[in-house]
A and B are shown apart, each in its own frame.
Chain A
Amino acid sequence: MRRLLGFLALVALLATGALWMISAPDPLPMGEFADDPGGDPARGQTVFTAAGCASCHHAPESEDKLVLAGGQRFPSDFGTFIAPNISSHPQQGIGAWSLHDFANALLRGVSPEGRHYYPAFPYTSYIRMEPQDVVDLWSFIRTLPASDTPSQPHEVGFPFSLRRGLGLWKQLYLDPAWIVPGAESDEMRRGRYLVEALAHCGECHTPRDAFGGLERDAWLAGAPAPDGKGRIPALTPDKLGWSAEDVAYYLETGFTPDYDSAGGHMVEVIANFAKLPPEDRAAVAAYVKALPDGGAMN
Protein backbone atom coordinates (compact mmCIF):
# COMPACT_ATOMS: atom_id res chain seq x y z
CA MET A 1 0.00 0.00 0.00
CA ARG A 2 2.73 2.34 1.00
CA ARG A 3 4.66 1.48 -2.12
CA LEU A 4 1.57 2.14 -4.25
CA LEU A 5 1.04 5.52 -2.63
CA GLY A 6 4.65 6.35 -3.19
CA PHE A 7 4.37 5.33 -6.81
CA LEU A 8 1.23 7.41 -7.28
CA ALA A 9 2.89 10.39 -5.68
CA LEU A 10 5.82 9.99 -8.04
CA VAL A 11 3.47 9.78 -11.04
CA ALA A 12 1.63 12.87 -9.84
CA LEU A 13 4.90 14.69 -9.37
CA LEU A 14 6.14 13.72 -12.82
CA ALA A 15 2.80 14.68 -14.39
CA THR A 16 2.90 18.02 -12.62
CA GLY A 17 6.46 18.50 -13.72
CA ALA A 18 5.57 17.63 -17.30
CA LEU A 19 2.63 20.04 -17.27
CA TRP A 20 4.87 22.69 -15.78
CA MET A 21 7.38 22.20 -18.57
CA ILE A 22 4.78 22.07 -21.34
CA SER A 23 3.13 25.22 -20.01
CA ALA A 24 6.38 27.21 -19.96
CA PRO A 25 6.37 30.36 -22.08
CA ASP A 26 7.91 29.68 -25.48
CA PRO A 27 9.57 32.92 -26.52
CA LEU A 28 11.26 33.64 -29.81
CA PRO A 29 14.93 32.58 -29.98
CA MET A 30 17.12 35.35 -28.60
CA GLY A 31 18.67 35.94 -32.01
CA GLU A 32 15.37 36.81 -33.69
CA PHE A 33 14.64 40.53 -33.81
CA ALA A 34 17.77 41.02 -31.68
CA ASP A 35 19.03 43.94 -33.74
CA ASP A 36 16.57 46.62 -34.68
CA PRO A 37 17.36 47.41 -38.32
CA GLY A 38 15.11 50.50 -38.08
CA GLY A 39 11.74 50.14 -39.78
CA ASP A 40 9.73 52.43 -42.01
CA PRO A 41 7.30 54.32 -39.75
CA ALA A 42 5.00 55.27 -42.65
CA ARG A 43 4.60 51.63 -43.58
CA GLY A 44 4.29 50.85 -39.90
CA GLN A 45 1.34 53.21 -39.63
CA THR A 46 -0.52 51.18 -42.26
CA VAL A 47 0.25 47.99 -40.33
CA PHE A 48 -0.92 49.72 -37.13
CA THR A 49 -4.20 50.70 -38.81
CA ALA A 50 -4.81 47.29 -40.36
CA ALA A 51 -3.99 45.52 -37.08
CA GLY A 52 -6.48 47.70 -35.20
CA CYS A 53 -4.07 48.40 -32.31
CA ALA A 54 -5.69 51.71 -31.39
CA SER A 55 -9.23 50.30 -31.46
CA CYS A 56 -8.63 48.35 -28.26
CA HIS A 57 -5.81 50.33 -26.66
CA HIS A 58 -7.11 53.91 -26.86
CA ALA A 59 -8.58 55.17 -23.60
CA PRO A 60 -12.34 54.69 -23.23
CA GLU A 61 -14.36 57.67 -24.48
CA SER A 62 -11.17 59.26 -25.80
CA GLU A 63 -11.44 61.23 -29.02
CA ASP A 64 -7.70 60.96 -29.59
CA LYS A 65 -7.31 57.35 -30.63
CA LEU A 66 -3.53 57.57 -30.92
CA VAL A 67 -2.94 57.87 -27.17
CA LEU A 68 -2.68 54.17 -26.33
CA ALA A 69 -3.35 54.58 -22.62
CA GLY A 70 -5.52 51.44 -22.34
CA GLY A 71 -8.45 51.01 -19.97
CA GLN A 72 -11.14 49.66 -22.29
CA ARG A 73 -12.94 46.70 -20.78
CA PHE A 74 -13.56 43.43 -22.65
CA PRO A 75 -15.99 41.14 -20.83
CA SER A 76 -15.90 37.43 -21.65
CA ASP A 77 -16.89 34.04 -20.24
CA PHE A 78 -13.53 33.91 -18.46
CA GLY A 79 -13.61 37.32 -16.83
CA THR A 80 -13.12 40.92 -17.88
CA PHE A 81 -9.90 41.84 -19.64
CA ILE A 82 -8.72 45.43 -19.46
CA ALA A 83 -6.53 46.69 -22.28
CA PRO A 84 -3.14 47.79 -20.92
CA ASN A 85 -1.21 50.97 -21.58
CA ILE A 86 0.97 50.38 -24.67
CA SER A 87 1.93 54.01 -25.16
CA SER A 88 5.57 55.05 -25.41
CA HIS A 89 5.76 55.86 -21.68
CA PRO A 90 8.88 54.12 -20.31
CA GLN A 91 7.29 52.98 -17.02
CA GLN A 92 3.54 52.71 -17.64
CA GLY A 93 3.74 51.87 -21.33
CA ILE A 94 6.15 49.97 -23.55
CA GLY A 95 8.66 52.77 -24.08
CA ALA A 96 11.50 50.78 -22.47
CA TRP A 97 10.92 47.68 -24.60
CA SER A 98 13.28 46.34 -27.25
CA LEU A 99 12.17 45.18 -30.69
CA HIS A 100 12.69 41.62 -29.42
CA ASP A 101 10.29 42.26 -26.51
CA PHE A 102 7.72 43.69 -28.91
CA ALA A 103 8.00 40.76 -31.33
CA ASN A 104 7.69 38.28 -28.45
CA ALA A 105 4.48 39.94 -27.32
CA LEU A 106 2.94 40.07 -30.79
CA LEU A 107 4.06 36.71 -32.15
CA ARG A 108 4.24 34.52 -29.02
CA GLY A 109 2.03 36.22 -26.44
CA VAL A 110 4.94 36.42 -23.98
CA SER A 111 5.81 39.51 -21.92
CA PRO A 112 9.36 40.86 -21.44
CA GLU A 113 9.25 39.30 -17.94
CA GLY A 114 8.49 35.93 -19.53
CA ARG A 115 4.81 35.67 -18.56
CA HIS A 116 1.95 34.57 -20.78
CA TYR A 117 -0.47 37.19 -22.03
CA TYR A 118 -4.15 36.32 -22.15
CA PRO A 119 -5.34 35.71 -25.70
CA ALA A 120 -7.76 38.65 -25.49
CA PHE A 121 -4.63 40.15 -27.03
CA PRO A 122 -4.90 38.48 -30.46
CA TYR A 123 -1.41 37.04 -30.78
CA THR A 124 -3.11 33.90 -32.10
CA SER A 125 -3.67 36.00 -35.25
CA TYR A 126 -0.56 38.18 -35.09
CA ILE A 127 1.61 35.05 -35.04
CA ARG A 128 1.06 35.07 -38.84
CA MET A 129 2.57 38.56 -39.21
CA GLU A 130 5.45 39.08 -41.57
CA PRO A 131 8.70 40.00 -39.74
CA GLN A 132 9.08 43.23 -41.73
CA ASP A 133 5.62 44.33 -40.60
CA VAL A 134 6.63 43.77 -36.97
CA VAL A 135 9.75 45.90 -37.47
CA ASP A 136 7.83 48.69 -39.24
CA LEU A 137 5.02 48.64 -36.68
CA TRP A 138 7.56 48.95 -33.88
CA SER A 139 9.18 51.94 -35.57
CA PHE A 140 5.77 53.65 -35.84
CA ILE A 141 4.25 52.81 -32.46
CA ARG A 142 7.22 54.37 -30.66
CA THR A 143 6.43 57.73 -32.27
CA LEU A 144 3.04 57.89 -30.53
CA PRO A 145 2.54 60.01 -27.40
CA ALA A 146 3.30 58.73 -23.89
CA SER A 147 0.57 58.36 -21.29
CA ASP A 148 1.29 57.89 -17.60
CA THR A 149 -2.03 56.11 -16.92
CA PRO A 150 -1.20 52.85 -15.12
CA SER A 151 -2.47 49.60 -16.64
CA GLN A 152 -5.20 47.98 -14.56
CA PRO A 153 -5.17 44.30 -13.58
CA HIS A 154 -7.55 42.00 -15.47
CA GLU A 155 -10.63 40.91 -13.53
CA VAL A 156 -10.21 37.19 -14.02
CA GLY A 157 -11.14 34.60 -11.40
CA PHE A 158 -9.60 31.24 -10.46
CA PRO A 159 -8.53 29.04 -12.28
CA PHE A 160 -8.06 31.39 -15.23
CA SER A 161 -6.04 33.70 -13.01
CA LEU A 162 -3.24 31.11 -13.18
CA ARG A 163 -1.45 32.43 -16.23
CA ARG A 164 0.82 29.44 -16.40
CA GLY A 165 -2.18 27.43 -17.63
CA LEU A 166 -2.13 29.53 -20.79
CA GLY A 167 0.96 27.58 -21.81
CA LEU A 168 -1.26 24.51 -22.23
CA TRP A 169 -3.85 26.59 -24.02
CA LYS A 170 -1.20 27.80 -26.44
CA GLN A 171 -0.17 24.21 -27.15
CA LEU A 172 -3.70 23.64 -28.36
CA TYR A 173 -4.52 26.89 -30.11
CA LEU A 174 -1.44 28.94 -31.00
CA ASP A 175 -0.73 27.87 -34.57
CA PRO A 176 0.97 29.93 -37.29
CA ALA A 177 -0.64 27.94 -40.14
CA TRP A 178 -3.13 29.71 -42.40
CA ILE A 179 -6.75 28.76 -41.82
CA VAL A 180 -7.73 28.91 -45.48
CA PRO A 181 -5.14 26.94 -47.44
CA GLY A 182 -3.94 27.57 -50.96
CA ALA A 183 -4.73 31.20 -51.73
CA GLU A 184 -4.00 31.31 -55.46
CA SER A 185 -3.80 34.99 -56.38
CA ASP A 186 -1.99 38.00 -54.92
CA GLU A 187 -5.37 39.49 -54.04
CA MET A 188 -6.46 36.36 -52.17
CA ARG A 189 -3.15 36.21 -50.32
CA ARG A 190 -3.42 39.85 -49.31
CA GLY A 191 -7.04 39.34 -48.21
CA ARG A 192 -6.05 36.30 -46.19
CA TYR A 193 -3.17 38.16 -44.56
CA LEU A 194 -5.48 41.03 -43.58
CA VAL A 195 -8.30 38.80 -42.30
CA GLU A 196 -6.30 36.03 -40.62
CA ALA A 197 -3.31 38.01 -39.34
CA LEU A 198 -3.54 41.79 -39.03
CA ALA A 199 -7.25 42.59 -38.74
CA HIS A 200 -7.81 39.42 -36.65
CA CYS A 201 -11.43 39.13 -37.86
CA GLY A 202 -11.74 35.55 -36.62
CA GLU A 203 -11.30 36.61 -33.00
CA CYS A 204 -14.91 37.87 -32.94
CA HIS A 205 -16.54 36.34 -36.04
CA THR A 206 -15.55 32.72 -35.30
CA PRO A 207 -17.21 30.77 -32.46
CA ARG A 208 -15.08 29.52 -29.55
CA ASP A 209 -15.06 26.14 -27.85
CA ALA A 210 -15.38 25.48 -24.10
CA PHE A 211 -11.74 26.46 -23.54
CA GLY A 212 -12.01 29.69 -25.48
CA GLY A 213 -10.14 28.43 -28.53
CA LEU A 214 -11.39 29.32 -32.01
CA GLU A 215 -13.39 26.58 -33.75
CA ARG A 216 -11.52 26.40 -37.03
CA ASP A 217 -14.24 24.21 -38.56
CA ALA A 218 -16.67 27.10 -38.29
CA TRP A 219 -14.28 29.76 -39.52
CA LEU A 220 -15.96 33.21 -39.62
CA ALA A 221 -19.34 31.49 -39.25
CA GLY A 222 -20.58 34.01 -36.67
CA ALA A 223 -20.55 33.76 -32.88
CA PRO A 224 -22.28 34.97 -29.74
CA ALA A 225 -20.98 38.38 -28.70
CA PRO A 226 -18.31 37.84 -26.02
CA ASP A 227 -20.06 40.19 -23.61
CA GLY A 228 -23.14 37.91 -23.78
CA LYS A 229 -25.45 40.37 -25.53
CA GLY A 230 -26.36 39.70 -29.16
CA ARG A 231 -24.44 37.97 -31.95
CA ILE A 232 -21.46 38.77 -34.13
CA PRO A 233 -22.68 38.05 -37.68
CA ALA A 234 -21.40 35.31 -39.98
CA LEU A 235 -19.21 36.32 -42.94
CA THR A 236 -19.58 33.07 -44.90
CA PRO A 237 -21.42 33.25 -48.26
CA ASP A 238 -24.28 31.00 -47.09
CA LYS A 239 -25.17 33.59 -44.43
CA LEU A 240 -23.90 36.88 -45.81
CA GLY A 241 -25.48 37.37 -49.21
CA TRP A 242 -23.54 40.52 -50.10
CA SER A 243 -21.59 41.07 -53.29
CA ALA A 244 -17.83 41.64 -53.07
CA GLU A 245 -18.47 45.29 -53.88
CA ASP A 246 -21.01 45.49 -51.02
CA VAL A 247 -18.42 44.11 -48.58
CA ALA A 248 -15.79 46.62 -49.75
CA TYR A 249 -18.26 49.52 -49.53
CA TYR A 250 -19.27 48.45 -46.02
CA LEU A 251 -15.62 48.41 -44.93
CA GLU A 252 -15.20 51.91 -46.36
CA THR A 253 -18.41 53.58 -45.14
CA GLY A 254 -20.08 51.33 -42.59
CA PHE A 255 -23.19 51.12 -44.76
CA THR A 256 -24.79 47.73 -45.33
CA PRO A 257 -26.49 47.13 -48.72
CA ASP A 258 -29.69 48.36 -46.99
CA TYR A 259 -27.89 51.48 -45.80
CA ASP A 260 -28.11 50.47 -42.20
CA SER A 261 -24.96 51.59 -40.41
CA ALA A 262 -22.57 49.51 -38.33
CA GLY A 263 -22.72 49.54 -34.53
CA GLY A 264 -20.54 48.56 -31.59
CA HIS A 265 -16.90 47.65 -31.98
CA MET A 266 -17.30 47.19 -35.76
CA VAL A 267 -17.42 50.98 -36.04
CA GLU A 268 -13.78 51.12 -34.96
CA VAL A 269 -12.88 48.33 -37.37
CA ILE A 270 -14.47 50.25 -40.25
CA ALA A 271 -12.67 53.44 -39.24
CA ASN A 272 -9.45 51.45 -39.73
CA PHE A 273 -10.42 49.82 -43.02
CA ALA A 274 -11.57 53.17 -44.39
CA LYS A 275 -7.97 54.42 -44.06
CA LEU A 276 -6.49 51.50 -45.99
CA PRO A 277 -6.12 51.55 -49.78
CA PRO A 278 -9.18 50.42 -51.81
CA GLU A 279 -7.24 47.36 -53.01
CA ASP A 280 -7.03 46.13 -49.40
CA ARG A 281 -10.81 46.38 -48.93
CA ALA A 282 -11.31 44.59 -52.25
CA ALA A 283 -8.87 41.87 -51.15
CA VAL A 284 -10.80 41.27 -47.92
CA ALA A 285 -14.03 41.13 -49.93
CA ALA A 286 -12.53 38.58 -52.34
CA TYR A 287 -11.35 36.44 -49.41
CA VAL A 288 -14.72 36.59 -47.66
CA LYS A 289 -16.61 35.72 -50.85
CA ALA A 290 -14.40 32.65 -51.34
CA LEU A 291 -15.07 31.22 -47.86
CA PRO A 292 -16.74 27.79 -47.73
CA ASP A 293 -20.34 27.66 -46.52
CA GLY A 294 -20.51 27.49 -42.73
CA GLY A 295 -16.75 28.10 -42.57
CA ALA A 296 -16.12 24.34 -42.82
CA MET A 297 -12.38 23.80 -43.26
CA ASN A 298 -11.03 20.41 -44.28
Chain B
Amino acid sequence: MKITATRLAMAATVAALGTAALAQELPGPVKARQGQFNILAINLGILGDMARGKAAYDADAAQKAADTIVAVSMINEPPLFPEGTSEMDIDGTRAKAEIWDDWEGFAGKWSGLGEAAVSLQQVAATGQEALGPAVGQLGGACKACHDSFRAPE
Protein backbone atom coordinates (compact mmCIF):
# COMPACT_ATOMS: atom_id res chain seq x y z
CA MET B 1 0.00 0.00 0.00
CA LYS B 2 2.74 2.35 0.96
CA ILE B 3 4.62 1.49 -2.22
CA THR B 4 1.51 2.17 -4.29
CA ALA B 5 1.04 5.54 -2.64
CA THR B 6 4.66 6.41 -3.22
CA ARG B 7 4.41 5.33 -6.83
CA LEU B 8 1.26 7.37 -7.30
CA ALA B 9 2.94 10.39 -5.81
CA MET B 10 5.94 9.86 -8.06
CA ALA B 11 3.77 9.45 -11.12
CA ALA B 12 1.87 12.61 -10.23
CA THR B 13 5.10 14.47 -9.71
CA VAL B 14 6.48 13.32 -13.03
CA ALA B 15 3.25 14.28 -14.77
CA ALA B 16 3.11 17.66 -13.09
CA LEU B 17 6.74 18.42 -13.69
CA GLY B 18 6.93 16.93 -17.16
CA THR B 19 9.13 19.70 -18.40
CA ALA B 20 11.32 19.53 -15.32
CA ALA B 21 11.75 15.79 -15.85
CA LEU B 22 12.77 16.52 -19.41
CA ALA B 23 15.22 19.14 -18.25
CA GLN B 24 16.90 16.53 -16.07
CA GLU B 25 17.99 14.70 -19.20
CA LEU B 26 19.62 17.74 -20.76
CA PRO B 27 23.42 17.97 -20.85
CA GLY B 28 24.99 19.95 -18.00
CA PRO B 29 26.04 22.94 -20.12
CA VAL B 30 22.50 23.29 -21.50
CA LYS B 31 21.02 23.20 -18.00
CA ALA B 32 23.59 25.75 -16.90
CA ARG B 33 22.86 28.18 -19.71
CA GLN B 34 19.11 27.87 -19.19
CA GLY B 35 19.70 28.51 -15.50
CA GLN B 36 21.57 31.72 -16.19
CA PHE B 37 18.70 32.96 -18.39
CA ASN B 38 16.27 32.09 -15.60
CA ILE B 39 18.33 34.18 -13.18
CA LEU B 40 18.14 37.04 -15.67
CA ALA B 41 14.35 36.66 -15.96
CA ILE B 42 13.82 36.60 -12.18
CA ASN B 43 15.83 39.77 -11.66
CA LEU B 44 14.30 41.49 -14.67
CA GLY B 45 10.96 40.61 -13.13
CA ILE B 46 11.88 42.46 -9.93
CA LEU B 47 12.89 45.54 -11.92
CA GLY B 48 10.15 45.32 -14.54
CA ASP B 49 7.38 45.05 -11.94
CA MET B 50 8.76 48.16 -10.23
CA ALA B 51 9.01 49.98 -13.56
CA ARG B 52 5.40 49.13 -14.40
CA GLY B 53 4.17 50.09 -10.92
CA LYS B 54 3.10 46.54 -10.16
CA ALA B 55 5.50 46.48 -7.21
CA ALA B 56 6.60 49.29 -4.88
CA TYR B 57 9.94 50.84 -5.80
CA ASP B 58 12.76 49.71 -3.49
CA ALA B 59 16.14 51.21 -4.35
CA ASP B 60 18.11 48.55 -2.49
CA ALA B 61 16.26 45.63 -4.10
CA ALA B 62 16.53 47.29 -7.51
CA GLN B 63 20.28 47.74 -7.14
CA LYS B 64 20.77 44.13 -6.07
CA ALA B 65 18.72 42.89 -9.03
CA ALA B 66 20.71 45.05 -11.45
CA ASP B 67 24.02 43.91 -9.89
CA THR B 68 22.94 40.30 -10.36
CA ILE B 69 22.12 40.91 -14.03
CA VAL B 70 25.58 42.43 -14.54
CA ALA B 71 27.12 39.41 -12.80
CA VAL B 72 25.30 36.99 -15.10
CA SER B 73 26.32 39.04 -18.13
CA MET B 74 29.97 38.44 -17.17
CA ILE B 75 29.66 34.65 -17.38
CA ASN B 76 31.90 33.26 -20.10
CA GLU B 77 29.52 31.70 -22.63
CA PRO B 78 31.53 29.26 -24.81
CA PRO B 79 31.59 26.44 -22.21
CA LEU B 80 27.79 26.65 -21.98
CA PHE B 81 27.33 26.31 -25.73
CA PRO B 82 29.35 23.24 -26.76
CA GLU B 83 28.95 21.89 -30.30
CA GLY B 84 26.03 19.50 -30.70
CA THR B 85 23.62 21.30 -28.37
CA SER B 86 21.50 23.26 -30.85
CA GLU B 87 17.75 22.73 -31.34
CA MET B 88 18.64 20.63 -34.38
CA ASP B 89 20.66 18.26 -32.19
CA ILE B 90 18.57 17.86 -29.04
CA ASP B 91 15.07 18.48 -27.70
CA GLY B 92 14.52 20.89 -24.87
CA THR B 93 16.55 23.81 -26.23
CA ARG B 94 15.65 26.72 -28.51
CA ALA B 95 19.28 27.55 -29.32
CA LYS B 96 19.46 27.84 -33.11
CA ALA B 97 22.29 26.31 -35.13
CA GLU B 98 23.12 29.84 -36.30
CA ILE B 99 24.88 30.39 -32.96
CA TRP B 100 27.66 28.07 -34.04
CA ASP B 101 27.61 29.26 -37.66
CA ASP B 102 28.14 32.84 -36.50
CA TRP B 103 29.80 32.62 -33.12
CA GLU B 104 31.25 36.12 -33.44
CA GLY B 105 27.81 37.59 -34.03
CA PHE B 106 26.44 35.68 -31.06
CA ALA B 107 29.28 36.83 -28.82
CA GLY B 108 28.62 40.40 -29.94
CA LYS B 109 24.99 40.11 -28.85
CA TRP B 110 26.07 38.79 -25.45
CA SER B 111 28.36 41.83 -25.10
CA GLY B 112 25.35 43.98 -25.95
CA LEU B 113 23.56 42.47 -22.97
CA GLY B 114 26.56 43.37 -20.79
CA GLU B 115 26.48 47.00 -21.92
CA ALA B 116 22.75 47.32 -21.30
CA ALA B 117 23.18 45.67 -17.90
CA VAL B 118 25.85 48.17 -16.85
CA SER B 119 23.60 51.08 -17.89
CA LEU B 120 20.82 49.58 -15.82
CA GLN B 121 23.17 49.08 -12.86
CA GLN B 122 24.10 52.78 -12.93
CA VAL B 123 20.52 54.04 -12.66
CA ALA B 124 18.72 51.27 -10.74
CA ALA B 125 18.96 53.01 -7.35
CA THR B 126 18.29 56.52 -8.66
CA GLY B 127 14.52 56.27 -8.73
CA GLN B 128 11.54 54.42 -10.16
CA GLU B 129 11.21 56.55 -13.29
CA ALA B 130 14.71 55.59 -14.49
CA LEU B 131 13.85 51.88 -14.49
CA GLY B 132 11.43 51.78 -17.43
CA PRO B 133 13.85 52.99 -20.13
CA ALA B 134 16.76 50.97 -18.72
CA VAL B 135 14.72 47.77 -18.55
CA GLY B 136 13.49 48.51 -22.05
CA GLN B 137 17.05 48.87 -23.28
CA LEU B 138 17.94 45.55 -21.71
CA GLY B 139 14.90 43.98 -23.35
CA GLY B 140 16.25 45.35 -26.62
CA ALA B 141 19.50 43.46 -26.03
CA CYS B 142 17.53 40.25 -25.36
CA LYS B 143 15.54 40.63 -28.57
CA ALA B 144 18.56 41.62 -30.68
CA CYS B 145 20.04 38.21 -29.92
CA HIS B 146 16.80 36.19 -29.99
CA ASP B 147 15.98 37.62 -33.42
CA SER B 148 18.73 35.55 -35.01
CA PHE B 149 19.66 32.93 -32.46
CA ARG B 150 16.56 31.76 -30.57
CA ALA B 151 13.85 29.60 -32.15
CA PRO B 152 10.14 30.06 -31.36
CA GLU B 153 8.54 27.73 -28.81
Interface residues on B, range: 20 to 34
A residues with a Cβ closer than 8 A to B are 61, 225, 229-233, 245, 249, 252-255, 258-268, 270-271
Knowing A229-B87, A255-B48, the reply to whether A265 touches B41 (Cβ < 8 A) is no
A152 to B62, CA, bound (A): 50
Leading 6 A-B pairs by shortest Cβ distance? A263-B150, A264-B152, A261-B142, A267-B147, A253-B139, A259-B45
Residues in B whose Cβ lies below 8 Å from that of A264: 146, 150-152
Knowing A229-B87, A259-B41, the reply to whether A254 touches B142 (Cβ < 8 A) is yes
Majority DSSP secondary structure for residues of B touching A: helix
| Contact present for A263 and B44 (CB under 8 Å) | no
B residues with a Cβ closer than 8 A to A are 40-42, 44-45, 48, 52, 87, 94, 135-136, 139, 142-143, 146-148, 150-153
Residues in A whose Cβ lies below 8 Å from that of B143: 254, 261-262, 267, 270-271
| Contact present for A260 and B52 (CB under 8 Å) | no
Knowing A230-B152, A263-B151, the reply to whether A253 touches B146 (Cβ < 8 A) is no
| Contact present for A255 and B152 (CB under 8 Å) | no
Instruction: Name the contact of A263 in the complex, choosing from B135, B136, B152 (C-beta under 8 A).
Output: B152
| Contact present for B153 and A233 (CB under 8 Å) | yes
| Contact present for B153 and A231 (CB under 8 Å) | yes
Residues in A whose Cβ lies below 8 Å from that of B94: 230, 263
In the complex formed, the residue of B with least CB distance to A267 is B147
Knowing A267-B147, A268-B147, A270-B143, the reply to whether A258 touches B152 (Cβ < 8 A) is no
| Contact present for B146 and A267 (CB under 8 Å) | yes
| Contact present for A232 and B41 (CB under 8 Å) | no
Q: What are 10 A-B residue pairs whose CB atoms fall within 8 Å in the complex?
A: A229-B87, A230-B151, A230-B152, A231-B152, A249-B52, A258-B45, A262-B143, A262-B146, A267-B143, A267-B147
A254 to B45, CA, bound (A): 13
Question: B95 to nearest A CB, angstroms?
Answer: 10
Question: A110 to nearest B CB, angstroms?
Answer: 31
A125 to B61, CA, bound (A): 46
| Contact present for B152 and A266 (CB under 8 Å) | yes
| Contact present for B146 and A261 (CB under 8 Å) | yes
Knowing A225-B152, A229-B151, A266-B152, the reply to whether A259 touches B146 (Cβ < 8 A) is no
Question: A37 to nearest B CB, angstroms?
Answer: 37
Question: B18 to nearest A CB, angstroms?
Answer: 16
Residues in A whose Cβ lies below 8 Å from that of B44: 255, 259
A74 to B139, CA, bound (A): 26
| Contact present for A260 and B139 (CB under 8 Å) | no
Question: B90 to nearest A CB, angstroms?
Answer: 13
Question: B7 to nearest A CB, angstroms?
Answer: 32
A249 to B94, CA, bound (A): 23
Question: B30 to nearest A CB, angstroms?
Answer: 16
| Contact present for B152 and A261 (CB under 8 Å) | no
A208 to B45, CA, bound (A): 35
Residues in B whose Cβ lies below 8 Å from that of A261: 41, 139, 142-143, 146
In the complex formed, the residue of A with least CB distance to B105 is A61
Residues in B whose Cβ lies below 8 Å from that of A231: 152-153
A258 to B136, CA, bound (A): 15
Residue of B52, B94, B142, B143 most packed against chain A (CB within 10 A)? B143
A231 to B42, CA, bound (A): 25
Residue of A233, A254, A263, A268 most packed against chain B (CB within 10 A)? A263
In the complex formed, the residue of B with least CB distance to A61 is B148
A59 to B147, CA, bound (A): 14
Residues in A whose Cβ lies below 8 Å from that of B52: 245, 249
A61 to B143, CA, bound (A): 14
Residues in A whose Cβ lies below 8 Å from that of B87: 229
Question: A284 to nearest B CB, angstroms?
Answer: 18
Residues in A whose Cβ lies below 8 Å from that of B45: 258-259
Residues in B whose Cβ lies below 8 Å from that of A232: 152
